[in-house]
Chains A and B, each alone.
Chain A
Amino acid sequence: MSYGNLETLYRQVIMDHYKNPRNKGLKDGDDFYKIHLKNPTCGDDITIQVKIDNGMITDVYQDGTGCSISMSAASVMSETIKGKTVEEAFKILDNYLNMVKGEKFDAELEMGDAIVYQGVAQFPARFKCATIAWKALAQVMDEHNGNCTCDHEE
């Protein structure tokens, strides 16, 4: 049976992260940056915790509720940026946002499983799902860099 475009969005990797999320569950401790984002129109609710040592992202945790795209993206994001510097993470983030928007992006840039979200470009209604965790990351890194926008609600 043909599922049309659906297969370009719901890739095996995405559904695997949805069913078996990585770095799921929040940790105690105040050495984490922590951001809680919600999309009140659809109910996505996500919290991410990031530890940054000397400009290096050393630990990431995520938790929340939402659709397969938003939840898997949080899992993928946590894996992709762990061990990266803030500067590298910003590069991946910008590239990812361009990719899911359907704009020009650098296909050579190493971004792990995040590359499978290319299909989102054909589902503009799901753009917010694919980006909510990444937007939380952007806020964490802004806060770390001292540029807190304090716009914690998506």
Chain B
Amino acid sequence: MIKISDINKIREDFYLLKNSDLTYLDNAASSLKPQQVIDALNYYNEKLGVNVHRGVYKLSYEATDLYEKARQKVADFIHCKFKEVVFTRGASSALNLVASSYGMKYINEGDEIITSELEHHSSMLPWQHVAKVKKAKLIYVPLDAEHRITIENFKKVLTHKTKVVALTHASNVMGYITPIKEIIKLAHEVGAVVSVDGAQSVPHMKVDVKELDCDFISFSGHKMCGPTGIGVLYGKYKLLQSMDPVEFGGDMIDYVYLQDVTFKDAPYKFETGTPIIAGAIGIGAAIDYLNEIGFDFIESQESKLRIYALTQLKNIEGLQLFNPNTDTGIISFNIEGVHPHDVASAFDQENVAIRAGHHCAQPLMNCLKQVATVRASFYFYNTEKDIDNLVEAIKKAKEFFDLFK
């Protein structure tokens, strides 16, 4: 069990936190990677470096073992079965797989797909495409006054025609947690399946797919201390089995005839070609690391930082805070009269890394009537000092750009 007082020990695991004065507040884009994950990647690349599954020699056996053990780690992490974990390139890839496989097979003309304006483009665009091709209707849950998805508004758009619900679990711009469990229950009552974008939730809170009863959930390794290039699609096994592969070739086949082919069972029929071996081993090591830290610590640290940050940001004159009631460590704001990219350059001079832009959520930017926002996002290794640095950077940027008024 990690105690709050161990934060300095945790920071030692991250090269940049240990060896530089970087204030890293761009965790919603990507987290930093601890030494333990880098060691696991190096172990595979240096000591093994060989392909999995078909090799009979010892090295290949060990690589296969590590690859599949990583799958088990993911399964334990989100509480599902081993065979319900499909490795993908990332959350975007996983979200796309649901649409291009399940969507293309089961969505028909006139069906309704529910999504929201709070979504990351990777959550809504695959379904926009399915809707266009299949002549289905893409329906948006009306957001409430503070741009949240609510049960009440979800009920307004749910009909007997709803076949798929594709919603984010935690918004990457507003930091709101969607009441997804209740939404899933309602969706199931009309026979719809629910694909959850877990990219911003899985790294930060205990997500139990059995408890949520979601049909699919997608997330990325690199936002949870793992490497880039690996992600996960969880799907209920029955659904995965009912779906067709979208990529064909090596490793995913059962038997190949000249005019026909049979495929392996899920998850392997979706993992075409040499799999993302290093990535899977990396996400496995990241899960070990997060388990060691524990979600009790992660959640309490992030919640402490959120309260500390909001208290200070609310008091800065001329700062437009877009989500004063954020549920997570994601805070979006603008400095009045200063374009977010100018803010980002000013922060960079103070070695404060944040994100400025539309955050792959252009529909939400339209709702907020902004071309872009500045987004600061925390993880468990951030400290109050990081928030102080952010606040100082904001004050300094304001002061600097005020010179030109």
A interface residues (Cβ-Cβ under 8 A, vs B): 1, 3-6, 9-10, 12, 15-16, 18-19, 41-43, 65-69, 123, 125-126, 129
Contacts and interface: CB of A to CB of B under 8 A. Distances in A.
B342 A3 contact: no
Interface stretch (B161-169, B180-188, B343-351): B343-351
B358 A69 contact: no
Contacts of B341: 42, 66-67, 69, 126, 129
Contact of A65 (B349, B371, B396): B371
B399 interface: yes
B255 interface: no
Given A43-B371, A125-B345, A3 B396 contact: yes
Contacts of B308: none
B342 A125 contact: no
Given A10-B342, A69-B342, A126-B345, 13 more contacts: A1-B396, A3-B346, A3-B349, A6-B349, A6-B400, A12-B404, A15-B404, A67-B339, A68-B339, A69-B341, A123-B345, A125-B345, A126-B341
A146 B338 CA distance: 40
A16 B349 CA distance: 22
Interface residues of B, number: 21
A11 to B, nearest CB: 10
B363 interface: no
A123 B348 CA distance: 10
25 contacts: A3-B349, A3-B396, A3-B400, A4-B349, A5-B349, A6-B345, A6-B349, A6-B400, A10-B342, A18-B404, A41-B357, A42-B341, A42-B356, A42-B357, A43-B365, A43-B371, A66-B341, A67-B339, A67-B340, A67-B342, A68-B338, A68-B339, A68-B342, A123-B345, A129-B341
Nearest to A123: B345
Contact of A43 (B338, B372, B399): B372
B212 to A, nearest CB: 33
A65 B358 CA distance: 14
Interface in B111-131: none
B362 to A, nearest CB: 9
A16 B403 CA distance: 11
A123 B341 CA distance: 12
Given A65-B371, A125-B348, A129-B341, A43 B400 contact: no
Interface in B334-389: 338-342, 344-346, 348-349, 356-358, 365, 371-372
Contacts of A19: 404
B392 to A, nearest CB: 11
Interface of B: 338-342, 344-346, 348-349, 356-358, 365, 371-372, 396, 399-401, 404
Nearest to B340: A67
A67 B342 CA distance: 6
Nearest to A3: B400
B404 A10 contact: yes
A43 B358 contact: yes
A3 B393 CA distance: 10
A9 B399 contact: no
For the complex of A and B, the 10 pairs showing the least CB-CB separation, nearest first, are: A15-B404, A67-B339, A67-B341, A4-B349, A43-B371, A3-B400, A68-B342, A43-B372, A6-B349, A67-B342
A6 to B, nearest CB: 5
Contacts of B348: 125
A16 to B, nearest CB: 8
Contacts of A66: 339, 341, 371
Contacts of A43: 357-358, 365, 371-372
Nearest to A41: B357
Considering residues A3, A5, A18, which has the most beta carbons from chain B within 10 angstroms of its beta carbon?
A3
B339 A10 contact: no
B92 to A, nearest CB: 16
A7 to B, nearest CB: 8
Given A3-B349, A126-B345, A42 B400 contact: no
A42 B404 contact: no
Contacts of A41: 357
A17 to B, nearest CB: 11
B26 to A, nearest CB: 13
Contacts of B401: 10
Considering residues B345, B349, B399, which has the most beta carbons from chain A within 10 angstroms of its beta carbon?
B345
Nearest to A126: B345
A3 B401 CA distance: 11
Contact of A10 (B358, B365, B371, B400): B400
A38 to B, nearest CB: 11
Contacts of B356: 42
B173 to A, nearest CB: 14
Nearest to B356: A42
Contacts of B365: 43
A9 B401 CA distance: 12
Contacts of B340: 67
